[in-house]
Chains A and B, each alone.
Chain A
Amino acid sequence: MANPTPTLPTPTSAYGASSRAWSWRRTLSPTGNMGDAVFRALLFGSAFVLLLIFGAMIAAIASNSVPSMRAFGFGFLTSQVWSPIRGEFGALPFIYGTVMSSLIALVISVPLSLGVAVFLVEQAPRRLARPVTFLVELLAAIPSVVFGLWGIFVLAPFLREHIQPPLANWFGWLPLFQGTVTGIGLLTGGIILAIMITPIISAVVRDVLAAVPMSQREAALALGATKWETTRVVLANGGPGIAGAIILGLGRAIGETMAVTMLIGNRPQISLSLFEPSYTIASVLANEFTEASDELYLSALIQLGLILFLVTFVINAAARLLVWSVTRGTSGTARA
């Protein structure tokens, strides 16, 4: 008698009732593997915690901003007056200060950080790269209070005596470089921010560049590229990672409080000159939050915090859009 044709086990018969009923395990993991399901649940849970934190923060901030929103409406965004005594508040000078100081910081820091990262990964001999990497990361370890103090005692006088006068002399016809030279102002704030975010951007970019496979470099060199042209290929490969690094640095610049407060002059005004004092949202929060006593004052400050979130949203969205439009054609990271 021939062997009966073996019947293939159908899913329903092999796995029993659980195959038809809905189960957590199968929802979480396409393979039905228990480990995968748990893994996915844990990771999803962590991401959810982040969402919860953000949600709670926004809820707390928004609910406390309501009195101020009711009192000023949209005028809050366009008014330049900040007078706690008279109860008149406006956010425009702070938005300007935050955006401008972060912009100055990025303009100075991004080329600098990219240069440092390229040097460490592409050009420096290993013996030199290790200690220099360490040193640059050490910059990130300095507390912001200390940056502020160093700025007051060293950077501001240096700028006042050696950098700003020549700038005023040669470029004084530009509204950017007019006004009294005191060493404390928008430019100084931007410079100290640049120094603070450089280690962040360069550390991440260094790792990104180091992860680009050697085959990319070898291929470029084999085609006769010079060192710089090879580097350009490597940079293009690391595009999204570099963008992430810059956004991280930008985040630090927008939210930085102590160092900026000590060096930006703390005057709520909008002026085209980089030498004039300015005021950022983080600084005004640090300066006035603990002493603000009445409802409306506190609410206006908290609404400034809400606006900071919005500003960060907009800048991040713009940056992502830019990266997406530039890397749309390329394939992203190379596959080895």
Chain B
Amino acid sequence: MIHLRKTLRATTALLLTGVVSLALACSPARDGATTTSSGAATGGVVRLQGAGATFPNPLYQKWLSEYGKTNANAQIDYQSVGSGAGIKQIQEQTIDFGGTDKPMNDEELKKAPGELLHIPTVLGAVVVTYNLQGVTETLSFSPDVLTDIFLGKITKWNDARIKADNATINLPDAPITVVHRSDGSGTTAVFTDYLSKVSPEWKEKVSTGVSVSWPTGQGGKGNEGVTAQVKAQPNTIGYVELAYAEQNKLPIARLKNKAGQFVTPTLDAVTAAAAESLAATPEDMRVSITDAAGASAYPIASYTYILVYKDQKDAAKGKALVDFLWWAVHDGERYTKDLLYAPLPAEVVRRVETKLNSVTSGGKALRSAQ
């Protein structure tokens, strides 16, 4: 019975401590301003929460770290949970800004309680990678050959059509194993968007989207899953973000672009794709730049966006956000190349400036023309 009393006392004490600390921690007394999403202005420190696309995550982390060094009063966090989640969360206003690789369509924009702006931040490329035994040279693919491989119509590596683009390379007589994504992703959306543009058959049979029914091949989870499977199995071909192929020292294929040139996905080629597409880029920047015109453009390139509400509920947070984004598209662009992201062309930066200047809170513009 002595046991029991001690245990009861201990348990009650523990529970009380727990309840009290919970109460203290949740107490709203610490922030004065009401907020609709996380963070608050507490004695000058503004907390912002962002979430979304995984593709630009390493760059955003670098940006936030560098920006934080000179702006200690802005505590900004970004988590990579996927473009779809980024879009959903900004619609629900559980975060302050969202990240997405593919632009939102009209239906999704309607679901948001306010007008959402698409701010392009950086460019990326989806590359075709492969693992071919005995072949060390870089392969080249024409759009129709690539499509037919992924459709399952070309099944052997030494097929005549592949040979036609790679006349000097000794291709083995081996079956092609296609590796695609098993999870929904912006990478798949960009890749299938390109294939739909270059092949009416693909557009009809498979079409484009974050998640499609692949006619052939095995699925890997995430860019890293596809990378691992291509690396580990011989005679495979797959598509991944540029950084994954580079970091894992996988071969990267050259693709024939719209102008008929075989292009390697260098960062300049990607920026060229964006620059060449500017004429067709609408005001709200929601555009697909795959299969771009121009001799040096890489055909499978895409923007990645940050989504912000045009009318910010909290002026302090809105200002911090807009200031950060201004810094990102100007000073931030110098960090892009080292991390294998392609910087925005100058004209696009100008368009972003206009957009950022239009962000308001309570009717007043947050950035007085600077």
Contact = CB atoms under 8 A, between A and B. Distances in A.
Interface of A: 82-86, 152-153, 156-157, 182, 184, 261-262, 265-267, 277, 286-288, 290-294
Interface in B156-205: 182-185
Given A262-B221, A290-B81, A85 B183 contact: no
Contact of B228 (A83, A152, A292): A152
A267 B219 contact: yes
B124 interface: no
Interface string B83-100: 111011000000000000
Contact of B210 (A152, A265, A277, A291): A291
Contacts of B211: 84-85, 287-288, 291-292
A38 B310 CA distance: 56
Interface string B216-239: 001101000100110011000000
Contacts of B85: 290-291
A291 B218 contact: no
Nearest to B184: A291
Nearest to A262: B221
Given A290-B84, A290-B184, A293-B84, A85 B213 contact: yes
Contacts of B107: 294
A85 B206 contact: yes
12 contacts: A84-B212, A85-B207, A182-B218, A182-B233, A266-B183, A267-B182, A267-B219, A277-B218, A277-B219, A287-B184, A288-B183, A290-B84
Given A182-B233, A293-B108, A287 B209 contact: no
A326 to B, nearest CB: 38
Of all A-B residue pairs in the complex, the 9 with the closest CB atoms, nearest first, are A291-B184, A266-B182, A291-B84, A287-B183, A266-B219, A290-B85, A83-B213, A291-B210, A290-B82
B212 A267 contact: no
B218 A261 contact: no
A274 to B, nearest CB: 16
Contact of A267 (B185, B218, B229): B218
A83 B212 CA distance: 7
B219 A85 contact: no
A84 B218 contact: no
Nearest to A156: B232
B184 A261 contact: no
Contacts of B81: 290
B95 to A, nearest CB: 14
A292 B107 CA distance: 14
Contacts of B88: 290
Contact of B184 (A86, A153, A182, A288): A288
Contacts of B182: 261, 265-267, 287
Contacts of A287: 182-184, 211, 221
Nearest to A258: B221
Given A287-B221, A291-B82, A85 B228 contact: no
Contacts, number: 71
Contact of A291 (B83, B213, B221): B83
Contacts of B207: 85
Contacts of A265: 182, 218-219
Nearest to A81: B213
A262 B84 contact: no
Contact of A84 (B185, B213, B225): B213
Nearest to B212: A85
B90 to A, nearest CB: 13
B218 A184 contact: yes
A277 to B, nearest CB: 6
A122 B105 CA distance: 65
A26 B208 CA distance: 67
Nearest to B236: A182
A77 B162 CA distance: 42
Nearest to A82: B213
Contacts of B108: 293
Contacts of B225: 152, 262
Contacts of A294: 107
A184 B220 CA distance: 10
A157 B233 CA distance: 9
Contact of A261 (B82, B221, B228): B221
Contacts of A156: 232
Nearest to B177: A182
A156 B221 CA distance: 15
A159 B225 CA distance: 18
Contacts of A182: 218, 233
Interface in B129-152: none
A233 B184 CA distance: 53
A170 B80 CA distance: 47
Chain A CB count within 10 A is highest, among B84, B85, B108, B221, for: B221
Contact of B229 (A82, A85, A184): A184
B155 to A, nearest CB: 13
A13 B84 CA distance: 72
Interface string B46-71: 00000000000000000000000000
Interface string B333-357: 0000000000000000000000000
Nearest to B217: A267
A90 to B, nearest CB: 12
